[in-house]
Amino acid sequence: MSEYKKVLVAVDTSAESDHVVSRALEIIDGNVDVLSLMHVVEPVAAAYPIDAYAINMARLQEEALDIARQRLEEIAGRFKIPSERQLIEVGPAAARIRETAEEHGFDLIVIGSHGTSGWKLLLGSTANKVLHGAKCDILTVRVGN
């Protein structure tokens, strides 16, 4: 039996997300009732220069959120995670994951990591940023190449 009572699985909604969720379920002995799924949408405005006045940022952000919700629902559906435990947040990913874990009393965060080489090493990965400052256990699941 797992010692974890509330597990937050942060996914990027890529094809590798299922692997991250599956690994989390292994850790908690398949008890989907203690698992919540989260995806963070980065603010769209951060991707455009400040003088991009011709772009409707609010509409772009709403479209990004709609796509994220759809993808998260698909992943959650495969693992039978109910909608009340599917979380979508907007903001810097690592900070929102840490804040959500603390606000809701999660005792484990599970997140995928592509490892630390090349640009990821120089810039830092989301998983690495979550690790620094989190107040609960973190499991990073190796994904990709």
Picking from 138, 24, 32, 30, the residue whose alpha carbon sits closest to that of residue 85 is: 32
Look at residue 46 in the predicted model and tell me its pLDDT.
57
Cα dihedral 45, 46, 49, 51 sign: positive
| Dihedral, CA of residue 132, residue 41, residue 37 and residue 10, to nearest 10 | -30
Each residue's pLDDT tens digit, 118-132: 444 444 588 888 988
pTM over 0.75: yes
At 116, list the tokens: 């630390």
Mean pLDDT of 40-47: 76
Percent of the chain with pLDDT over 90: 65
CATH class given for the domain over 7-142: alpha beta
d(CA 35, CA 58): 31
Each residue's pLDDT tens digit, 84-120: 999 999 999 999 999 999 999 999 999 998 655 444 4
Q: Where are the domains of the chain?
A: 7-142
